[in-house]
A and B are shown apart, each in its own frame.
Chain A
Amino acid sequence: MGGRLTRSQIGFLWGIVMPVIALFIIIRVIPILIVLLMSFTNFNLNRPLTRFLPYQNFTRLFGDPNFLTAFINSTEFVLIAVPLEIILGLAFAIYLNRKVRFESIYETLYFLPYIVPMVPSAIIWKWIYAPGTYGLANYLLDQMGFARVGWMSTPQISLLAVIGIHIWKQLGFFVIVFLVGLKNIPSDFREAAVVDGATPWEITRKVDIPLLKPVILFGVVMATIWAWSAFTEVYIMSQGTDISTGAEIQVLVTRIYAEGFLYFNMGYASAISFVLFIVSLIFVALQFKLIKVEST
């Protein structure tokens, strides 16, 4: 094609595509810029006067025990969920890729929790973790001769229990993505290794994983962003548990929700968003860099 656009093309461009672009600017670009600006104010929906605070929100963050708990919990979320999701996802994908029978059934079952909405999933888990005799998790522990665990009442354990739900939910995505990646590796590589007498484990280590590296790195970026911005599972799990546990398992986004939409401290909530954003941005930048490396 090339050359100039015809009148009809210009009409199409402005009639349909530009409105969509405008929506992107209104719904995403501008709010992202505004949240950065708002993080330097004390904006509150219930207070008419808004003041500019050059650094107060950020100094306040680091003296705010709620924020610090949330920050540490979100970090723990990332540090535990990401490696497990990647390693388990890789293991399942590699096993599924060994030409097993019923592969598509396994694939479907692994993927099921990922596709199902989080709210019912989290409620189901909450019930499994229930205290006393009727929680399935404690019942199974009993049957196996272990002591019962206060899944939702011991703070350290309840955070791990929530991270467990998150991993269970997201794992299927990584299995699928890694499996697709493995299928894209030309079979000659593996065949050549077999001719050289390599064992399956050697093939995995020396052929599959190195060639899958870009996909694995992509997976790490996605897993990190999702773990870092987890909300629903934490929110559902902290409902109705005793208040202290709810406070112990809070994460960055539940803090944004509480400050912004329960107390209407939107300036301060934006400062927390700022922290969330900067870390996400680092990962987006990393991702773009990876794509560049990949395409050269």
Chain B
Amino acid sequence: MVGAQKTTRGWRRIGLHLFLTSTSFVMVAPFIWVLLTSFKRSTDIVTETPQLLPQVWTLENYLKLPQVAPFVRFFLNSIIVSGVSTLFIALGSAACGYIFAKYRFRGRDFLFFLVISTILIPLQTYIVPLYLLTWKLGWINSYQGLIFPLIIMSSGIFFLRQNIMSIPDELIDAARVDGASEWKVFRSVILPLSVSPIAAISIVNWVYTWSLFIWPLIVANSTEMFTMELGLMYFQREYAVDYGGIMAACIITLLPVLAIFLIFRTRIIEGVAFTGMKY
């Protein structure tokens, strides 16, 4: 009796794993397929019966990329845009989080509401006026234009506020009694104690800005301002039949995000679950 129960439970376990393995395989299969394809010779890619593994492993698809399109430039542009944005987000969120957590002043709740209320309204909604603003500022096709809508993040402020609220007031007051200025308190008390949440939102923001597409699509209109996403899109439009090249370019675009994800997996999941959870 007990034995029979054990076997049904064993079968159930196996079924569960089969279900989880097969579904998670579907999730990653496209990436594996593309990764393998990117190492094939172009003559082996479009065939009657697709081959899973390359007949001859080659790097030609990767090596030719910098020659056909300025991918190095695209890559640097993406690094600049997401890097500068993340720097602003990290500092701005920590400073605002500190104020909203620890200061008491009239209008604070209203300001906090102002920051939080726009959180669920997608950029797509107000992209027309945002473009006009960028245009008036003369920032079309410039780094300023690409970056400036990305330097604020409601959920970052919310996340830091939640974390800073748990820092004991005594620590802050002790620093103040010692005659520290607010900037000093922020730098020597708040920042060191918020490293982990700042890291979480920075990584999430970096991934988000790296992946952004619609804003660069509208603002960057010459090749030297393209980000990786935009360069990739134009590349696949121009070289529609060069599947090997396109797949190699796809892999290069998603590789940095993949690397960051695998290194900071727990932080990212925590950050995304929170910025999602508490918006």
**In the complex, which residues of chain A have a beta carbon less than 8 angstroms from the beta carbon of B207?**
115
Distance A123 CA – B120 CA, assembled complex (angstroms): 27
B139 within 8 A of A: no
Give how many A residues have a beta carbon under 8 Å from the other chain's beta carbons: 96
Contact with B along A84-121 (1 / 0, CB 8 A): 00000000100110101100111111111111111111
Given A32-B121, A176-B269, CB of A123 within 8 Å of CB of B20 = no
B96 within 8 A of A: yes
**In the complex, which residues of chain B have a beta carbon less than 8 angstroms from the beta carbon of A287?**
120, 279
Smallest CB–CB gap between B20 and chain A, Å?
A: 5
Interface set, chain B 176-212, CB cutoff 8 A to A: 176, 181-183, 186, 207, 210-211
A28 within 8 A of B: yes
Given A123-B246, A253-B214, A273-B125, CB of A23 within 8 Å of CB of B151 = yes
Q: Which residue on chain A has the smallest CB distance to residue B122?
A: A229
Q: Which residue on chain B has the smallest CB distance to residue A218?
A: B277
Name which of A59-67, A149-157, A255-263 contacts chain B: A255-263
Q: Are A133 and B48 in contact (CB under 8 A)?
A: yes
Report which of B47, B102, B126, B172 forms a contact with A28, defined as CB distance below 8 A. B126
A25 within 8 A of B: yes
Report which of A6, A104, A276 forms a contact with B124, defined as CB distance below 8 A. A276
**In the complex, which residues of chain A have a beta carbon less than 8 angstroms from the beta carbon of B81?**
none
Smallest CB–CB gap between B173 and chain A, Å?
A: 7
Q: Are A31 and B126 in contact (CB under 8 A)?
A: yes
**In the complex, which residues of chain A have a beta carbon less than 8 angstroms from the beta carbon of B99?**
12-13, 17
**In the complex, which residues of chain A have a beta carbon less than 8 angstroms from the beta carbon of B257?**
115-117
Q: Are B17 and A5 in contact (CB under 8 A)?
A: no
Task: Please report whether the interface of chain B is mostly helix, strand, loop or mixed according to DSSP.
Answer: helix
A197 within 8 A of B: no
A79 within 8 A of B: no
Q: Which residue on chain A has the smallest CB distance to residue B261?
A: A115
Smallest CB–CB gap between B4 and chain A, Å?
A: 16
**In the complex, which residues of chain B have a beta carbon less than 8 angstroms from the beta carbon of A30?**
129
Q: Are A236 and B233 in contact (CB under 8 A)?
A: yes
Name which of A204-212, A242-250, A277-285 contacts chain B: A277-285
B237 within 8 A of A: yes
B149 within 8 A of A: yes
Q: Are B240 and A177 in contact (CB under 8 A)?
A: no
Q: Are B130 and A283 in contact (CB under 8 A)?
A: no
Distance A38 CA – B124 CA, assembled complex (angstroms): 15
A49 within 8 A of B: no
Q: Are B237 and A180 in contact (CB under 8 A)?
A: no
Given A17-B95, A119-B253, A176-B272, CB of A110 within 8 Å of CB of B24 = yes
A145 within 8 A of B: no
Smallest CB–CB gap between A242 and chain B, Å?
A: 13
**In the complex, which residues of chain A have a beta carbon less than 8 angstroms from the beta carbon of B128?**
35, 38, 256, 260, 266, 269-270, 273
**In the complex, which residues of chain A have a beta carbon less than 8 angstroms from the beta carbon of B181?**
8, 11-12
Smallest CB–CB gap between A108 and chain B, Å?
A: 6
Report which of B13, B49, B114, B126 forms a contact with A139, defined as CB distance below 8 A. B49
Given A28-B152, A225-B122, CB of A117 within 8 Å of CB of B253 = yes
Smallest CB–CB gap between A240 and chain B, Å?
A: 6
Q: Which residue on chain A has the smallest CB distance to residue B133?
A: A31
Distance A260 CA – B26 CA, assembled complex (angstroms): 37
A58 within 8 A of B: no
Given A17-B96, A110-B24, A128-B30, CB of A177 within 8 Å of CB of B273 = yes
Report which of B19, B28, B111, B130 forms a contact with A95, defined as CB distance below 8 A. B19
Given A118-B213, A168-B27, A180-B277, CB of A32 within 8 Å of CB of B103 = no
**In the complex, which residues of chain A have a beta carbon less than 8 angstroms from the beta carbon of B254?**
116-117, 120-121
Can you list 29 A-B contacts with CB-CB less than 8 angstroms, sorted by A residue number? A1-B102, A12-B99, A16-B92, A17-B95, A20-B95, A105-B24, A109-B27, A110-B24, A112-B31, A113-B28, A116-B31, A116-B254, A116-B258, A117-B211, A120-B250, A120-B253, A134-B47, A171-B27, A218-B277, A221-B120, A225-B120, A232-B213, A253-B214, A256-B128, A266-B128, A273-B125, A273-B128, A277-B121, A283-B120
Rank and list the top 5 A-B pairs by shortest CB-CB distance, nearest first: A117-B211, A12-B182, A120-B250, A109-B24, A31-B129
Known: A35-B129, A117-B253. 17 other contacts (CB 8 A): A1-B172, A12-B186, A27-B130, A27-B149, A28-B152, A32-B126, A38-B128, A95-B20, A112-B27, A119-B253, A120-B253, A123-B233, A180-B273, A225-B122, A239-B233, A260-B127, A281-B121
